[in-house]
Amino acid sequence: MSVAIDSGPSDRLVARDIHVRRGNRCILQAVDLSVAPGRLLALVGPNGAGKSSLLNVLAGLLVPSRGHVTLDDRPLDQWSPTALARRRAMLSQQVHLDFAFSTNEVVMLGRSPHPPNNSAVMGDQGIVEAALRAARAWELRGRNYLDLSGGEQQRVQLARVLAQVWEQHDEPSWVLLDEPEAGLDIAHQHFVLEHARTLTRQGYGVITVLHDLNLAARYADDVALLAQGRLLHHGSPAYALDPHTLSTVYGLPLRRITLDDDEWILVPSRSQDKGAATERVRRYLSRI
Amino acid sequence: MNSIALPRSHARSRRTLTLGGLVALLTVTVLWSLCCGAMDLSVREVIGALGRWLSGQMAHSDDLVVLMLRLPRVLLAMLVGAALACGGTAMQGLFRNPLADPGLVGVSAGAALGAVTMIVLRGALGLAQSAITGSLAITVTAFAGGLLATALVYVLGRRRQGVATLLLAGVAINAIAMAGIGLLTFLANENQLRDLTFWSLGSLGGTDWWRLAMVAPPIVFALVLLPRSARALNALLLGDAQARLLGFRPERLQPMLVALVALAVSAAVSVSGVIGFIGLVVPHLLRLAWGPDHRILLPASALGGAMLLTVADTLARTIVAPAELPIGVLTALLGGPFFLWLMLRTRMGEVRV
């Protein structure tokens, strides 16, 4: 019974009391977050809430001004960059690449942290091909990266990220995604999140920033709602995506509509007074 | 495009084939260059001279032309060409900009300022005026000037993260060095002006084993170490953040690469004067042929640069013989139109720093 919970605290990705300041601005304030592998966590919140910053902190890319992140109970700054790179990969929002690599070469860059003759069962080339398939970019193989559209480039970058942590060894690996749905058509948006779920079933921990609340509701195991650098809610989608809180946080009245198959979606209400909502936001935020 | 998915072994054999082909081409170029000159020699004579030298046999009378005059000069051309091209490749990778060249971090301008300072002020400083020690002193100050300017650019440029600041600091230091050169040019007398012009046009004239031995160690050192960062440079093309996520340390790589490039290029410029466009053209041509993978690109550009400068220097010393054309003029003549073509071909949006 306790098997599911009892993976132990050691293989968790834990953020403790994270503060990030940039100049006088507080980007993140006192964020505590403990994430278990094998689950899909969605970070949601309005623009400027600190979602990407939190993801960067969790990846070890951004050093918080206070607090720290641990993986396997070890602070990230005590990990060697290569060892960390073999355990977690991250897809950033925008990756600029101005050189005419082929798509396969771009994905092969994901294998950089692994020694040239690493012990991967499939071999690096096999992994590159498998990652291209997994990211639904197989038909783009061998193309010049610069000839691709934005969405196609995004899929190739996703394949690169997947290739980086393709084979897990003793410990679970982590995949962090910053708005992976951005720039993708509706089919590819769902493919990406479907694949993220597949990863969690293989034991990966997946943390993704999502703007689309309905994607979060549908695919995430857990949702963390951020606003103004604070973590407001962390829990099941039904709990964290409470329409009342969301309406105040986003300043847009939102309501849930339950669909026939017990799913629900969030849509803006039509006839609410927007001024009243804005006032509610103001009062709400002054309290937190 | 031209690169389709290749199994691993194919990728590796492609690399061997590419580099092997370039080595063969370079060998042919070197032999051809050794044959050319005021006294025409056949390939057989050249190979004979090299063979007798290497096996320690008695030298024939013409051997001296090959061994004492042409060989050190050809070797120097190879080293300088390799340093400029390989340095250019590393800079383009580091700055993620195909239009970058080693001069961007102030190496060339700093070296030029060092050389010009020595040319103009050595009389005032009461230093020896003899030709040999004079040219030696110029080499030393040029080398020091190149390293110093780069160090300055680096110290100023690293105050903020990212390569853009480094680039801006490079622009500023370049401008200041140019102003210094301008001022010294204004102060120079007739004789000094001639030396100065000659130096700034670039030349490998008067090369002997001594000069070669002086600049070979730093250049060879850098050429051996630069390709070891090939994988890191590939990752850096995705940006500093992505490189860090892939387990590299851009904050360590950046100073190391800048130092190696400064070492190689300062040494090259100090002995040859300013030779433009090699560092820009060679990496570009090779990238068009084999793609941007630095594992091939770095060694290939060293070989390609060696070849191109050997050809250019051979032309420089033969087409208007017995006079010599400044080699910098030749390479600029070749590189200028190429640069323009590149500029017009590259859409502005594609070039980001």
DSSP A6-17: TT-STT-EEEEE
Contacts with B246 from chain A: Cβ below 8 Å: 85, 109-110, 112-113, 164
Contacts with A164 from chain B: Cβ below 8 Å: 246
Contacts with A102 from chain B: Cβ below 8 Å: 1, 3-5, 291
Q: Is A100 helix (H, G, I), strand (E, B) or coil?
A: coil
B76: number of CA atoms within 13 Å, CB side?
A: 28
pLDDT tens digits for range A53-71: 999 999 999 999 999 999 9
DSSP B74-136: HHHHHHHHHHHHHHHHHHHHHTT-TT--GGGGTHHHHHHHHHHHHHHHTTTTT----HHHHHH
How would you label A225-262 residue by residue, b for 16+ Cβ within 10 Å and e otherwise?
bbbbbbbbbbeebeebbbbebbbbbbbbbbbeeeeeee
Is the Cβ of A143 closer than 8 Å to some Cβ of chain B? yes
Q: Which residues of chain B from 149 to 178 reach within 8 Å of chain A, CB to CB?
A: none
- pLDDT score recorded for residue A2: 36
Q: Which residues of chain A from 51 to 90 reach within 8 Å of chain B, CB to CB?
A: 59, 61, 80-86, 89-90
- pLDDT score recorded for residue A273: 57
Architecture of domain B33-350: Orthogonal Bundle (1.10)
* pLDDT exceeds cutoff 70 at A5: no
Q: Average pLDDT, stretch A149-155?
A: 92
Kindly give, in sequence order, each residue whose CB lies less than 8 Å from that of residue B244, ignoring residues fewer than 6 positions away: A61, A81, B250
Question: What value of ipTM does the predicted structure carry?
Answer: 0.87
pLDDT in tens, chain B (353 residues): 334 444 455 667 788 888 999 999 999 999 999 888 877 888 888 888 888 888 877 777 777 777 888 899 999 999 999 999 999 999 999 888 887 888 888 888 899 899 888 888 877 666 555 555 667 788 888 899 999 998 888 888 877 766 778 888 888 999 999 999 999 989 888 888 888 887 888 888 878 888 899 899 999 999 999 999 999 999 999 998 999 999 999 989 988 998 999 999 999 988 888 887 888 889 988 888 888 999 999 999 999 999 999 999 999 888 887 888 888 888 888 778 877 876 677 654 444 33
Residue of chain B minimizing CA distance to A112? B246
Residue of chain A minimizing CA distance to B232? A112
How would you label B267-306 residue by residue, b for 16+ Cβ within 10 Å and e otherwise?
bbbbbbbbbbbbbbbbbbbbbeebbbbbbbbbbbbbbbbb
pTM score: 0.85
Q: What are the residues facing A235 on neighbouring strands?
A: A223
* pLDDT exceeds cutoff 60 at A1: no
Architecture of domain A13-241: 3-Layer(aba) Sandwich (3.40)
Domain ranges of chain A: 13-241, 242-288
Count of A–B CB contacts within 8 Å? 91
Q: Do B97 and A92 touch (CB under 8 A)?
A: no
The whole-angstrom separation of Cα B273 and Cα B142 is: 9
Contacts with B291 from chain A: Cβ below 8 Å: 100-102, 105
Place of tokens 């006079």: B323
Contacts with A142 from chain B: Cβ below 8 Å: 3-5
Q: How far is A111 from chain B (nearest CA, A)?
A: 8
Residue of chain B minimizing CA distance to A128? B5
Q: How far is A30 from chain B (nearest CA, A)?
A: 24
The whole-angstrom separation of Cα A12 and Cα A205 is: 9
Q: Do B1 and A81 touch (CB under 8 A)?
A: no
Q: Do A99 and B249 touch (CB under 8 A)?
A: no
Is the Cβ of B253 closer than 8 Å to some Cβ of chain A? no
Dihedral pair phi/psi, residue A203, rounded to 5°: 105, -5
Contacts with B3 from chain A: Cβ below 8 Å: 102, 104-105, 142, 144
Contacts with B293 from chain A: Cβ below 8 Å: 101, 105
Which conformational region is residue B60 in: left (phi greater than 0), alpha (psi within -120 to 50 degrees), or beta?
beta
* Other C-beta atoms lying within 10 Å of the C-beta of residue A178: 20
Residue of chain A minimizing CA distance to B93? A99
Domain ranges of chain B: 33-350
Q: Average pLDDT, stretch A158-180?
A: 91
Contacts with B285 from chain A: Cβ below 8 Å: none
Mutation pick from A62, A90, A98 vs chain B, by most beta carbons of B within 10 Å, is: A98
Is the Cβ of B96 closer than 8 Å to some Cβ of chain A? yes
- pLDDT score recorded for residue A4: 43
Percent of chain A's residues with pLDDT above 70: 90
